Every structure is written in structure tokens, then in C-alpha cells.
A and B are shown apart, each in its own frame.
Chain A
């Protein structure tokens, strides 16, 4: 087995794994990372196929630039979104998979036998991959290259226009927002004031610590959903236990193991269970 084939088998397997990850990860970030896996492995395969420039471009442009752009956008819009895999359109998944199998069949049917028995290889054509490609790009493909560079100018301008769109509605005044808040309170009972602060304990005071209500229950609205999505919420009851233990140690009165609090279930809503998961 040649090194080339070895690279192909290993990197091909990882690429397929990454593609499957793209299909099955719930979170966009994971999908983006698995796409990065695919791309890097493809870059390795490019390299094995005597395409040094493309391999580098794949790593630098695709994985480095484009996927970073994806991650930026995910950070902007999608970090706290989980996508359920429960299909809402009846038959969509089944038909899509069947159509995919059909496509695969067609492609395999088309590919098999359409390649020359022995690959020509690029030793002759390459003679220094970058120089040869440059000769082509700035030679016979120069017009295509110029058009694409024009596209590269235009596309960011378009992106800026899209991102900088004018306001669709007038900015709400403070009075209007206050009225809307009271209206929401009247209609749905939404609390009109500011949301509760995150919790401040002796040991921790990050925004990942939920605030406690007077009865000792967790205030679900005191932590950001982003924290929940990241599983970063601190278990305050563990913290308070720890604090009590520390107090006991400092005062030297009662060994901490003895004052283990009653196993009172202070969590009584589903949301709170979710928080403390």
C-alpha cells in the first residue's frame, strides 16, 4: 500500500465521518467544527493528489477564512439555538434519504468505468505546481480570473449593503417601550421590571450562578439561555453546601459531614431541573 493510498483511506474515512457529523450534530458550532474536519482531511487528499496549492488554499481560505466567518455568524445568531431533529414536514426525511441513495446510485453508475485504467499523474504537468497553475490562471484562464476578482469585489459590497440595511420601523421611544411592557404585563402577566440579577455567593459571583428566590428556589430568569446552552450554569445548592461547609470549618464547630442538609427538593419546576441538569 502506497503512502498515497494510506492518506486517502485515512483522510477519506475522517472526511465521511465529518460529513456525517454535519448531518447529525444538534448544534451549529459542532456542525461547523465537523465541517472543518472534512476540509482539512480533503486538503490532505489534495496534497496526496499532487495539488499542493489547492491543499494550502483549502486550509487557509476554506478552513481558515470561510469557516471562521461561519463561526462568527454562529456566534451572532446561533450559539444558543439547539436544533431538534424531529422532522416537522411529513415524509421529508424518508424521501430525502431515498433521493440521496438514488443520487448515489446514479453517481456511482456514472463514475464506474469513466476513468482511465491507469491515472496519468501530474509529475509531467506539474513541474512545480504553483508555477504551472499560475501560468494557466494568468494565461489561458486570465479572463475568468479577472471576472472572479470582480466578483470578489462585488460580493463584499453586497454583503455590506445587506448587513447595513435601513431600519424598517421607527425606533421605539422609551415611553412606547414602557407602555409595551405594561401592556405585556396586563395581557400575559410578564413581569414589567428588570430581570433578576444573577446570584452572588461567597464563593462565586459569575453570571453563571442563578439567583435564589426567598424560598430557596432558583430564579430561572436570572441566567442567560446562552449559559444553559453551554451547560455552564452553576449548581447553587452544591455551592451553598460548600459555603456552609467552609463556614463550619472556619468556626470549627460542627464537622461538615454532619450538617449535610436535608435532601429537600428545592427545585420544583421543569425549567429549574433543566437548569440544574
Chain B
């Protein structure tokens, strides 16, 4: 199997995740899209490992996975606390980035 195809699949997944981040409004779904992008990166790392015959790519993917787990924990708690104070999970509602 040509790893190039795997990399192209990773690219497609990454772009879909990125577009999802931009067009979805539910913070949770956006977060899932971010996870999708991370996964596509992982896929790319694994395909590199396969293509080059080196396990370093897999190690990196492993670390990404662990970091993603930590990120999800913190991110979800942020979403929960925002939801508590604002009663919404839409990212359009808190436009507090503008004073």
C-alpha cells in the first residue's frame, strides 16, 4: 500500500475538521472537529512511520494522543463552566472578545 494515499486521506480529514471548526457553532461539536484534526495528524504520523520504517512517528502519535486526552479534559471543563454562566454552548453567543 502506498503511504501517500494514507497521507491524502489524512489531508482530507484535516480539511474537513478545519471547515467543521469554522462552520459549526456548538462548542462541543467544534471541539470534536479539533479532535478530528488531531486524529488526521496522528494518521499522518503513523503513515510516515510506515513509509520510513521507523517507530518514531508512532511514538509521536502516542504522545499526541495523550496530550489530546489532557486537552479534552480541560476543554470540556471550560465548556461546562461557560455553559453554567451563560446557559449556552454556542460560540457565537459569547462575543466578549469585543469590548
Contacts and interface: CB of A to CB of B under 8 A. Distances in A.
Interface of A: 2, 4-5, 8, 12, 15-16, 19-20, 22-23, 28, 31-32, 35, 38-39, 42, 45-46, 48-51, 53-54, 57-58, 61-62, 65-66, 69-70, 73-74, 76-78, 81, 83, 87-89, 92-93, 96-97, 99-101, 103-104, 107-108, 111-112, 115-116, 119-122, 124-126, 129, 132-133, 136-137, 141, 144-145, 148, 151-152, 154-156, 158-160, 162-163, 165, 168
A58 B41 CA distance: 13
Contacts of B72: 66, 69-70
Given A115-B51, A159-B73, A162-B77, A35 B5 contact: no
Interface string B8-45: 11011111111110111110110111011001001100
Contact of A115 (B2, B16, B23, B69): B2
A69 B46 CA distance: 25
Most buried by A among B16, B42, B68, B78: B16
A92 B1 CA distance: 38
Contacts of B85: 168
A8 B78 contact: no
Chain A binding surface SS class: helix
Nearest to A83: B26
Nearest to B4: A115
B70 A22 contact: no
Contacts of A73: 28, 76, 79-80
Interface string B63-99: 1011111111110111111011100011010000000
B54 to A, nearest CB: 6
A66 B35 contact: yes
A54 B28 contact: no
A70 B50 contact: no
The interface centre, meaning the residue of B17, B23, B79, B90 with most chain A CB atoms within 10 A of its CB, is: B23
A54 B46 CA distance: 9
Contacts of A69: 72-73, 76
Given A54-B62, A89-B92, A125-B55, A151 B8 contact: no
Contacts of A54: 42, 46, 58, 61-62, 65
Top-10 shortest CB links A-B:
A120-B53, A155-B70, A96-B22, A107-B11, A159-B77, A100-B19, A162-B77, A19-B16, A77-B83, A49-B50
Given A73-B79, A107-B15, A51 B61 contact: yes
A206 B74 CA distance: 37
Given A15-B9, A66-B68, A5 B1 contact: yes
